[in-house]
Structure 1
Amino acid sequence: MTTKIIATLGPASLSRERIKALALAGARIFRLNFSHSVAADFEPVVRIIRDVESELGKPLTALGDLCGPKTRIGEIKNAPRQVGKGETLLLGLPEEDPGEDERAFVPLDVPGLLAGLQPGMPVNLSDGMLQFDVTRTLKQDRLYEMVAHNAGVLSSRKGIAFPGKHHALPALTAKDIKDLHEGLDIGLDAVAISFVQNAGDIRHIKDEIKRHDTWVPVVAKLERQNAVDNLEEILAVTDVVMVARGDLGTECPISELPIIQKRIIRACRHAQKPAIVATQMLLSMVKNPIPTRAESTDVANAILDGADCVMLSEETAVGDFPVEAVAYMREISDNAVKYYLERIQGPYAPKKEKNPAKYLAYSACILADNAESKALVSHSLAGTTARLISSRRPELPIYALTLDPRVIHHMNFVWGVQPRLVDKTDETHMKRAERFVAESPDFAPGDSVVITAGQPTPGQTTRFTNQIKLYHK
């Protein structure tokens, strides 16, 4: 299991039998979408995930996806209605509806989104299918006139985006905070925060998690141009990044989106933070038993870009073929990874920098390749060394040993990593890793593995990985 698969759960996939089938097909992370649900709805689902995890003996991660600030318009009169190219419409707060005006009125009950809107600024509706420019301010921050660039259908409750505009809205709403704490109570293993704009949004949710007296990894969903512009500061504090192409594609020009995706994934690998690619990956499989050629190529290209995870949304939540979608994604991934490893021809060398941990991880990969080892085995309290090794993209599987179940579920996001929970003993980390190899059925007598571990030495002030060992079973 090299590239990880995330399956969104919904009406088509909430049964125990279906969740087990998805896990057997290759899903390791299950996304629970809080946009239309609350934690109480997901409590039995998390119990099922834990039950299937125990039965299969494979770590399965329950990911709670918080909905973030509301960015949808309200009810449109006489909707759906056709909008013509060059037609003018009104956009404003619901109370500003000029009922006598013949132009269509688009209500938006979020004052913060309208604040600072000026003539010339773009506005996108319906996932970018309708594009407008603001032409006139009728009431500052309350009511505007806009003109349509293209014809299309205007419907109620559709998403709205203001490409390039900074929003003062916090990424974490009151509903999100409530859902977060209740989600942690029911056993979520990770949480995703929507519409991130900067590092402060990540710090905010991490503070809330700390208030709950626990720790789970945070996934930063990049859906706004501001987040792309602030990528480095976000990478410094987040645990995982999601390239959420649906909303991001309404904020950024569609023609630039493929390159933005590549840049984000590359930056994530250099920062040793897992990258997820999401949205419309096998969308035709909502109704069809096989994907299109373009979708198959899209999934493969995300993996060739270096993505750690690929995610299914509607395909597994409401689709007619959820298990088949995961199986196809697994098959596409296996073929893409094989070519990816052929193309890079060995582990990535670190850039020239003073970074002993990164060079140690690279050295372990080189040694394992030269010794024709069966695997790399990393003993790590927080999984940092496993992420460092993964970022080098070795051909061999990476076994990440840890004492912490929370880290096990975090490692499910990381490319090439097979997380394993080990018992706490009085042994050193190296001895514990050797015992794991000796007892594991994955290794035959005579197989070699390269082990990385850390044991503090007298002059060491902080704990870090400081050992590499070639071990023969």
Structure 2
Amino acid sequence: MDRHIKIIATLGPGTDSYEAVKELVESGAKIFRLNFSHGGREFFAKMVEIIRRLEEETELTLTVLQDLSGPKIRTCDVGLGTFEVNKGDEVMLGSSDKYKDDGAPFICLDIPEMFEGVKVGDPVALGDGVIRFRVVEIEEPQLIRLEATNAGICPPRKGITFPGMKTPLAPLTEKDKADLAIGMDLGVDVVAMSFVQKPEDICNLRAEMIQYGRRVPIIAKIERTAALECLDEILTEADGIMVARGDLGLELDLAELPAAQKRIIKACNRLGKPVIVATQMLLSMVNSPMATRAETTDVANAILDGADCVMLSEETAVGRYPGEAVKFMRKIAYEIEAYMVESGMVNISVDGVKEHPSTFLAHAAAMLAGKTDAKAIVCHSTSGATSRILSSCRPAQSIYALSSDSTVRHFTNLSLGVIPAKPLDVIDDHQERAEVFVRQSPAFDEGDIVIITAGQPIKGKSVTQTNVVKLYEKLKKVAS
């Protein structure tokens, strides 16, 4: 059986060499995340150079994903150091000019906009949600009284969130703009935008991107309840979605997170847009060569939910066992994908199919592949749209996506089951390009049945959409 799930590996101090990245590729990672919250241009340039070198050596499509930081909301330091709180303790939260050196617990936040709209009863989370508070009184502008709802320690310079509140800070910061310039210069393939709250956020990033003469796909990270409320509108603008469960888990009651993940994935599958599930998937493997049973089940369930990609963060960026983490994630995928085929859990359906003929033909090709037990589907897709629709059908077969456009190939790499490939440009006929690819590819043996989809060029039209589905058998080469 072909292997379908895509694994994203975050690069960091633990994987900053050619040998380390090569091990990740050999272990099964095909997409590499550069987290622009950490590191500088020199590190990112080195990583991109290594990835492109490995791309040439392996002849695989390896995708570089730039992850922008977004607005980091952190507390500041007024010299109190770390202090403890118990459940029921009261703590003041305010700007530094409100601090009084009277020994009372005080958390400093020098971002005035964050105090706007805060109401009594609102939740506040500190340090990735380890400590949680409830607002009990608005003392004055930029000074509020909190009551701890659990016990723990409060160090300075930690992340702080106001779950459920629409953040007044724009998701595209000045740092993000500077980092985007670096990414565009280095030639990243995809950009992920943090803390997206509305579709206009994606439009703003795209406008910023265009001034560099590039237009690469944008992944919207869903981390805010505001984004959940307008998910359909964000999906219209974004090219894909990341279920960023770390910050989203602070915004929601944790019990609500699994259902939210399923709803987001279902919405993406319906539109044929790639969806990534991220955060703490195999977190114990940062320090241990073995994952937990719960983590193993979590990865499997993300695949069952319909994720296109599963992402490793600390596990490969700073972990002690980066290669092992990728291998184990891939092993989980092997087992759960075999179960899905065995159980007939493919998502081939014409329900909700748009009336456009090319979309219907993609669904027809996926159904034909299943009925004929074809070896694979070969799709010549100039824009990559047809290959993504085919992917959303979840056929048992791999989908070879032929495109002459490098940006398209690197983005189709994010869709489940899609293997990007470059066709022979000397042939104008798209269907013939696909047939030649099958004849020349060592992936197919004599007698293999392949389903081909292509857009036959029409004279006088610059845009070509899928209008052909063909059952093709690879025949024995005839001796000359």
TM-score by length of 1: 0.96
Is 2:276 the counterpart of 1:276? Answer: yes
1:92 to 94, 101, 104: 94
Is 2:52 the counterpart of 1:37? Answer: no
Contact 1:68–1:173 (CA under 8 A) maintained in structure 2: yes
Kindly provide the amino acid, as one letter, of the partner of residue 230 in structure 1. Answer: C
Structure-2 change in CA distance of 1:460 and 1:43 (3 Å): closer
- Give unmatched runs, 5+ long, in structure 1: none
CA distance in 2, matches of 1:15, 1:45: 8
* 3-state SS, counterpart of residue 393 of structure 1: coil
Counterpart position of 1:64 = 66
* 3-state SS, counterpart of residue 43 of structure 1: helix
Aligned residues: 471
Contact 1:281–1:312 (CA under 8 A) maintained in structure 2: yes
Contact 2:27–2:323 (CA under 8 A) maintained in structure 1: yes
| CA drift at 1:356 | 2.7
* 3-state SS, counterpart of residue 6 of structure 1: strand
Counterpart position of 2:176 = 176
Is 2:435 the counterpart of 1:430? Answer: no
| CA drift at 1:344 | 4.2
CA distance in 2, matches of 1:279, 1:18: 21
Counterparts in 2 of 1:334-413, with a 5 A limit?
334-353=334-353, 354-413=355-414
CA distance in 2, matches of 1:403, 1:76: 57
Contact 1:192–1:221 (CA under 8 A) maintained in structure 2: yes
| CA drift at 1:169 | 1.1
Structure-2 change in CA distance of 1:175 and 1:346 (3 Å): closer
2:29 to 27, 30, 37: 27
| CA drift at 1:27 | 0.5
* 3-state SS, counterpart of residue 398 of structure 1: strand
| CA drift at 1:376 | 0.2
- Give unmatched runs, 5+ long, in structure 2: 475-480
Structure-2 change in CA distance of 1:371 and 1:459 (3 Å): farther
Contact 1:361–1:388 (CA under 8 A) maintained in structure 2: yes
Contact 1:350–1:358 (CA under 8 A) maintained in structure 2: no
Counterpart position of 2:194 = 194
| CA drift at 1:173 | 0.3
CA distance in 2, matches of 1:328, 1:262: 23
* 3-state SS, counterpart of residue 359 of structure 2: helix
Counterpart position of 1:249 = 249
| CA drift at 1:346 | 4.3
Kindly provide the amino acid, as one letter, of the partner of residue 244 in structure 1. Answer: A
CA distance in 1, matches of 2:63, 2:95: 40
Kindly provide the amino acid, as one letter, of the partner of residue 143 in structure 2. Answer: L
Deviations 1:180-219 (A, max 9, x none): 0111101211111101101011111111111111121111
2:16 to 7, 14, 17: 14
Contact 1:96–1:143 (CA under 8 A) maintained in structure 2: yes
TM-score by length of 2: 0.95
Structure-2 change in CA distance of 1:345 and 1:296 (3 Å): closer
Identity of aligned pairs, percent?
47
CA distance in 2, matches of 1:157, 1:207: 33
Counterpart position of 1:327 = 327
CA distance in 2, matches of 1:381, 1:459: 17
Kindly provide the amino acid, as one letter, of the partner of residue 405 in structure 2. Answer: D
Contact 1:39–1:186 (CA under 8 A) maintained in structure 2: no
Counterpart position of 2:442 = 441
CA distance in 2, matches of 1:38, 1:163: 30
* 3-state SS, counterpart of residue 233 of structure 1: helix
Structure-2 change in CA distance of 1:192 and 1:337 (3 Å): same
CA distance in 1, matches of 2:406, 2:459: 29
| CA drift at 1:329 | 0.3
